[in-house]
């Protein structure tokens, strides 16, 4: 199992020779550090140890506007105050009980972090395409229309939650724990009966954030998903699933970090 949880672990991944975003080598004059997630998403007492990876300065700067917005969104969990230079989070109201953020794609932001977690755990670049992936965040998605239609929770989400809980019971997960324990990322590589490829099943928790996306008509859900590398194979150091006949009790079937 691969585990990153202390200063020594994180110092090791800070020496990667490639940009985790584009995969290209980094020259000294192009180098910058990219915090994953953005540093300001966490309270000052929760910024150590943190995960940051080498990135081209241009690659890092391209995501600065999104980082500012995600920092504000996650900061709602611990009372982050508005800071100078923060971008305005555009919120549209659709009735008294339903609001939507219209200038932030949370799913795309979280997917970027997952690519960073992959690079940190397995010391290899994960391309954005043609990787096949699916991802549920705590924040429902909807079409931006006059009356938005909220996407239903994908049925596979419960399967991912179940698999993470099962492998956790078996102590068989790759894991990143950082930011004073406020961020936990877990993953395992699975080969299911009806597929000839390996998929990484993962779950992410930040400040128990599932209640941030509470939406009328939908239960709260945690963040979980899966992806498949172009090779269809797991990284050499990745943890592979174990099969068990044990029935895993699960009260909350939508959150891998809940009972």
What span, in angstroms and rounded, lies between the C-alpha atoms of 42 and 37?
9
DSSP code of 220? Answer: -
Q: Please state whether the predicted TM-score (pTM) of the whole model is above 0.75.
A: yes
> What average pLDDT does the segment 181-208 reach?
93
> Are 134 and 225 within 8 A, CB to CB?
yes
DSSP code of 147? Answer: S
In tens, the pLDDT along 3-24 reads 999 999 999 999 999 999 999 9
User: Which is more confidently placed, 216 or 244?
Assistant: 244
Among 130, 159, 152, 151, smallest CA distance to 227 is for 130
In tens, the pLDDT along 149-187 reads 788 899 999 999 999 999 999 999 999 999 999 999 999
What span, in angstroms and rounded, lies between the C-alpha atoms of 48 and 121?
18
Dihedral, CA atoms, 171, 42, 44, 90, nearest 10 degrees? -170
What per-residue confidence (pLDDT) applies to 171?
97
Based on C-alpha coordinates, what's the Rg of the chain?
Answer: 18
Domain boundaries, the chain: 3-228
């Amino acid at each position: 199992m691969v585990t990153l949880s202390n200063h020594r672990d994180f110092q090791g991944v800070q020496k990667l020779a490639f940009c985790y975003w584009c995969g290209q080598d980094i020259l000294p004059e192009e180098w910058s550090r990219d915090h994953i997630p953005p540093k300001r998403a966490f309270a000052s007492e929760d910024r150590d140890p943190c995960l940051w990876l080498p990135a081209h300065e241009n690659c890092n700067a391209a995501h600065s506007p999104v980082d500012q917005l995600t920092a504000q969104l996650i900061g709602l969990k611990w009372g982050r105050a508005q800071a100078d230079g923060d971008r305005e989070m555009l919120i549209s109201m659709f009735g008294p009980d339903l609001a939507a953020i219209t200038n932030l794609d949370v799913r795309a932001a979280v997917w970027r972090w997952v690519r960073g977690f992959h690079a940190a755990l397995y010391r290899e670049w994960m391309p954005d395409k043609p990787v096949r992936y699916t991802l549920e965040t705590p924040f429902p998605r909807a079409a931006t229309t006059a009356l938005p239609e909220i996407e239903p929770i994908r049925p596979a989400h419960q399967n991912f939650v179940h698999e993470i809980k099962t492998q956790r019971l078996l102590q068989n997960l790759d894991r990143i724990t950082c930011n004073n324990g406020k961020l936990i990322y877990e993953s395992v590589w699975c080969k299911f009966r009806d597929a000839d490829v390996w998929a990484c099943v993962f779950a992410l928790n930040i400040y128990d954030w599932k209640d941030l996306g509470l939406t009328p008509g939908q239960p709260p859900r945690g963040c979980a998903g899966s992806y498949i590398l172009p090779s269809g194979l797991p990284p050499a150091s990745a943890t592979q699933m174990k099969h068990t006949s044990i029935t895993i009790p699960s009260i909350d079937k939508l959150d891998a970090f809940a009972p």
